[in-house]
Amino acid sequence: MYSTFLTLHSIFRWLVLLSLCYAIFRAYKGYKSQSSFSKIDNTVRHWTATIAHIQLIIGILVYIKSPIITYYFSDFKTLISEWELTFYGLFHFILMMVAIVVITIGSAKAKRKKTDVEKFKTMLLYFSLALLIICIAIPWPFSPLANRPYLRPF
């Protein structure tokens, strides 16, 4: 079960990144051209937040079932000095939670803004900040913090 959720978490990472990039692109384009916030823009906003929340749920399941996390918290005082374990045990989890909160707040604020320009600006700001946080917290294959492959095998 753990390996299935870990694979799903790895796949959903790409959906989160793609949806965030697309939402940021639409927000930037709409803000710059001062166009109206269409039904498609609202759908993109909504589904970006939804995909991020699905990823959060999968991530929490992975975190709860992870043998790495169990091992990390079994001897926290000793293992805090092991950077890769600390990355997964604390930093990845905390940064991703912060990113999802930023996406949620940005989505809710954008939805409630009065003008279309404000909606695009809010989406652009919050989703860009969340993307930055996520890119820092992902264990990329080239990351000096902790690394994993682009896609986990099945």
Q: Which domain holds residue 89?
A: 2-137
Q: Tell me, yes or no, whether 154 lies in a domain.
A: no
Length of the chain: 154
Q: What 3-state DSSP class applies to 146?
A: coil
* Range in 76-85, 90-99, 131-140 with the lowest mean pLDDT: 76-85
Mean pLDDT throughout 78-95?
83
* Band of pLDDT at residue 154, cut at 50, 70 and 90: low
Q: How many CB atoms lie within 10 A of CB 94?
A: 11
* Band of pLDDT at residue 149, cut at 50, 70 and 90: low
Q: Tell me, yes or no, whether 78 lies in a domain.
A: yes
- pTM summary value: 0.88
Q: Give pLDDT, residue 78.
A: 76
Number of structural domains the chain divides into? 1
User: What is the radius of gyration, based on Cα positions, of the chain?
Assistant: 17
User: What is the tens place of the pLDDT at every residue in 3-21?
Assistant: 888 889 988 999 999 999 9
Q: Give pLDDT, residue 143.
A: 73
Q: Tell me, yes or no, whether 151 lies in a domain.
A: no
pLDDT at 148 over 80: no
